[in-house]
């Protein structure tokens, strides 16, 4: 099957009311004013009357789910099995209804490096429900070496002669289980190598993206499945604006294909470019399955500008105690026949209940004021009553649903603005420890009103409160870094580093345990700024400040910044590999703590710091061959912390001093990139200590650059062609005929 870029716009035509049976014309004539908008939409719908077309040889049955987050809080005694139980329900429903395939919209795993228990449970369930003798009723017509280009087995798993697949699973990756490392592998690739999941939608280029669909055919129905795994929103936004994203289409019979697109990005606007507008997507699409957003909005909504539908299934487990997670969780059963579709909403029965409520203390002046005697006890009594009400509501809803977990999630957000004081949340939570699943974070105190007033004066922003409040709302690490420096732009502005680079480095440190990411970023940016100033011949302190700021601003939101960040991360990984460490390795203190936790003997106190970190006679001798040499525990030279000698013998350096004596800091000739520079060690103590200097080791060889890929020229489709489908979303399983769709659709 040959593919091509989107065609030019073509004129469409609309059906009129006269094309419908007379019964529906008479029915629409009785609609009142409030329902005329829906009636106008029905005028373009062709309703099929045959009852035998529900599930025939021409109908695709697709189970749709996103954001399973397998392994979320798996160490929690109460909630640890929630994600596994829900995935089991999803797979069981797929097998019971004999779907053609399962489509996952990203974030199958919650962690980038899932635990062995998590992988074992996932593989077990996929083998149990998705392997068997049931025949596959559809064929794949596209070039599978392009569709599945991240594996050594570039074909769909059910066509593998060594596997017996009854329900294929197609999945894109999300931001939680995204590909990392030199080879760009993720957890989905492990499942793909095992033949359990078909991982598609992985773009290996940061310059241009071509999305080639998986072309399927069942009977007379042709389905084009597009997918795009998670990409940083700012980068993808810029690529859309620069027309660097292309969605290929079949050359033959373009109007006969149903175009389904799975994407995993921010749908709601979190910043100027920290989301993907629906208008960026090509208008020949029929249905977009949107992952990453956890709020369940599974009923397809029509984009009136692009004329496609968008469904947002949401997450299958509540990963944050925010209002969006409190909506009822669903998955979808999508039926596609020709150019018509139907989406049936399926409520998940094993999802733990979640109730959230807001209380503003200043709204109860008749009960108490900040000056009322024993006001704290009265506030606590009010919160107790609110929590009890939510528990009673949860109990009423759980009746008749034996699969629903017994203990619900409860969150009471208390706004204590206006002079009130918070009470002891730990003591309060003890009253509900046997009735709720989250006693530790049952109550959340916030002061939104005072925070908004404080942000007006940037010099007096309490950043600890700012970061603490936004973290609860589920923002990413890079979002917090960007928000921090945006609020402090006038007073604490970065001089050398960019907000995006610092945010990415901190994210690598926090999420993926790359301990050298931040240090490598600082060193790399310092070295590059030094070379830039030397090439410019800048000498005075004022000129240095101006030139450094200009140099930093010129890299913001550019391809150069993306390449720098990638280079820094590669350096950090190379540094870790040189030391022989793997992410997640325990350090010495953690190992000693682990010994005390696992040992049956009484705990032994750790040696005093002044005696070094060697192991004595009471070390881990009982474990036999796991002991390490004494050299591994020799004290390291102090380069951080509150050293008195450091504070007495060194002084703070200005930015002018940081760039002096270029002959001593770098030695490089034209055309080469090897050089030496001083390494700056950042002090994280509470006191203002001077910056220490240490000799930088010889530069490591740069990691091999990734293979380059050749792409055809991009032409973002602005097609206004007549196309489209309509849907009927129903909760009833006994609907006679779910397929409703126009033969044509026009753009006004």
Structure-block tokens of residue 718: 């602005």
Q: Is residue 264 annotated as part of the catalytic site, yes or no?
A: no
* Cα separation, 44 vs 748, whole angstroms: 13
Yes or no: say if 1 and 252 are a contact pair by the CB < 8 Å rule: yes
Interhelix angle for 477-487 vs 499-511, to 10°?
140
- Parallel, antiparallel, or unpaired: how do β-strands 308-312 and 287-291 relate? parallel
CB-count burial class (<10 Å; 0-12, 13-18, 19+) for 346: buried
Yes or no: say if 428 and 422 are a contact pair by the CB < 8 Å rule: no
Q: Which listed residue (69, 110, 173, 176) is catalytic?
A: 176
- Give the DSSP per-residue string, 155-197: S-GGG-TT--BSS-EEE---SSS--BTTTTB-HHHHHHHTTS-
Yes or no: say if 744 and 46 are a contact pair by the CB < 8 Å rule: no
CA angle 489, 493, 496 (to 5 degrees): 140
- How many CA atoms within 13 Å lie on the side-chain side of 626? 8
* Cα separation, 587 vs 100, whole angstroms: 48
> How big, in percent rounded to 5, are the helix, strand and coil portions of the chain?
35, 15, 50
DSSP lists the bridge partners of residue 415 as 360, 446
* Cα separation, 292 vs 295, whole angstroms: 9
Neighbours of 482 (CB within 10 A): 21
* Cα separation, 324 vs 54, whole angstroms: 34
CA angle 31, 37, 40 (to 5 degrees): 85
- Give the DSSP per-residue string, 480-527: HHHHHHHHTTTTS--SSS-HHHHHHHHHHHHHS--TTHHHHHHHHHHH
* Cα separation, 374 vs 682, whole angstroms: 47
In the chain, what is the straight-line distance between the N-terminal and C-terminal CA atoms, in Å? 33
CA angle 173, 333, 408 (to 5 degrees): 75
Residue 340 in 3-state DSSP? Answer: strand
- What are the catalytic residues? 176
């Amino acid at each position: 099957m040959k593919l091509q870029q989107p065609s030019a716009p073509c004129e469409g035509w609309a059906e009129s009311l006269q094309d419908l049976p007379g019964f529906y014309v008479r029915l629409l004539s009785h609609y009142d004013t409030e329902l005329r908008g829906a009636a106008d939409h029905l005028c373009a719908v062709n309703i099929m009357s045959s009852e035998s077309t529900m599930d025939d040889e021409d109908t695709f049955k697709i189970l749709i789910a996103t954001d399973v987050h397998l392994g979320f809080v798996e160490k929690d005694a109460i909630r640890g099995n929630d994600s596994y139980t829900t995935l089991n329900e999803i797979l069981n429903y797929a097998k019971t209804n004999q779907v053609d395939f399962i489509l996952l919209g990203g974030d199958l795993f919650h962690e980038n490096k899932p635990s062995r228990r998590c992988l074992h449970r996932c593989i077990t369930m996929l083998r149990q429900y998705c392997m068997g003798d049931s025949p596959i009723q559809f064929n794949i017509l596209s070039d599978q070496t392009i569709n599945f280009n991240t594996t050594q087995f570039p074909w769909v798993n059910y066509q593998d002669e060594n596997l017996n697949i009854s329900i294929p699973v197609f999945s894109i990756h999300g931001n939680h289980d995204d590909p990392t490392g030199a080879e760009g592998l993720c957890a989905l690739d492990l499942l793909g190598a095992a033949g359990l999941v078909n991982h598609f939608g992985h773009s290996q280029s940061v310059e241009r993206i071509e999305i080639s669909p998986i072309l399927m055919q069942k009977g007379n129905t042709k389905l084009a499945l597009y997918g795009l795994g998670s990409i940083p929103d700012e980068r993808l936004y810029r690529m859309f604006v620069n027309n660097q994203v292309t969605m290929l289409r079949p050359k033959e019979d373009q109007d006969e294909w149903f175009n389904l697109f799975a994407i995993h990005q921010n749908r709601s606007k979190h910043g100027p470019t920290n989301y993907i507008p629906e208008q960026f997507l090509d208008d020949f699409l029929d249905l977009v399955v949107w992952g990453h957003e956890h709020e369940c909005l599974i009923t397809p909504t029509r984009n009136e500008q692009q004329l496609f539908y968008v469904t947002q299934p949401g997450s299958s487990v509540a990963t944050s105690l925010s209002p969006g997670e409190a909506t009822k969780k669903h998955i979808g059963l999508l039926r596609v026949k020709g150019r018509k579709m139907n989406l049936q909403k399926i409520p998940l029965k094993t999802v733990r209940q979640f109730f959230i409520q807001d209380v503003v203390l200043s709204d109860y002046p008749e009960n108490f004021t900040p000056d009322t005697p024993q006001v704290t006890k009265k506030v606590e009594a009010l919160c107790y009553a609110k929590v009890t009400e939510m528990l009673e509501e949860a109990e009423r809803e759980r009746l008749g649903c034996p699969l629903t977990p017994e203990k619900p999630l409860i969150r009471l957000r208390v706004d204590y603005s206006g002079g009130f004081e918070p009470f002891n949340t730990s003591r309060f939570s003890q009253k509900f420890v046997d009735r709720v699943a989250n006693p530790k974070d049952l109550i959340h105190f916030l002061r939104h009103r005072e925070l908004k007033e404080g942000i007006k004066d940037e010099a007096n922003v309490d950043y600890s409160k700012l970061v603490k409040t936004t973290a609860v709302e589920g923002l990413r690490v890079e979002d917090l870094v960007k928000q921090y420096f945006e609020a402090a732009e006038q007073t604490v502005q970065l001089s050398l580093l960019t907000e995006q680079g610092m945010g990415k480095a901190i994210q690598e440190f926090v999420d993926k345990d790359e301990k050298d990411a931040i240090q490598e970023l600082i060193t790399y940016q310092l070295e590059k700024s030094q070379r830039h100033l030397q090439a410019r011949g800048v000498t005075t302190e004022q000129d240095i400040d101006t030139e450094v700021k200009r140099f930093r601003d010129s890299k913001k939101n550019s391809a150069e910044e993306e390449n720098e960040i990638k280079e820094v991360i590669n350096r950090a990984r190379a540094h870790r590999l040189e030391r022989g460490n793997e992410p997640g390795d325990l350090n010495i203190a953690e190992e000693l703590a682990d010994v005390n936790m696992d040992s049956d003997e009484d705990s032994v106190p750790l040696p005093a710091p002044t005696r070094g970190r060697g192991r004595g006679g009471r070390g881990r001798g009982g474990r036999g061959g796991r002991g390490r040499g004494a050299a591994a525990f020799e004290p390291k030279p102090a380069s951080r912390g509150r050293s008195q000698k450091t504070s007495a013998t060194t002084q703070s350096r200005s930015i002018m001093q940081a760039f002096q004596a270029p002959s001593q800091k770098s030695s490089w000739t034209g055309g080469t990139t090897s050089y030496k520079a001083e390494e700056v060690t950042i002090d994280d103590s509470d006191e203002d200590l001077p910056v220490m200097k240490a000799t930088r080791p010889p530069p490591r060889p740069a990691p091999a650059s990734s293979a380059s890929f050749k792409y055809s020229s991009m032409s973002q489709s602005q097609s206004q062609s007549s196309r489209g489908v309509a849907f009927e979303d129903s909760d009833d399983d006994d609907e006679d005929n779910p397929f409703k769709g126009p033969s044509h659709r026009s753009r006004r």
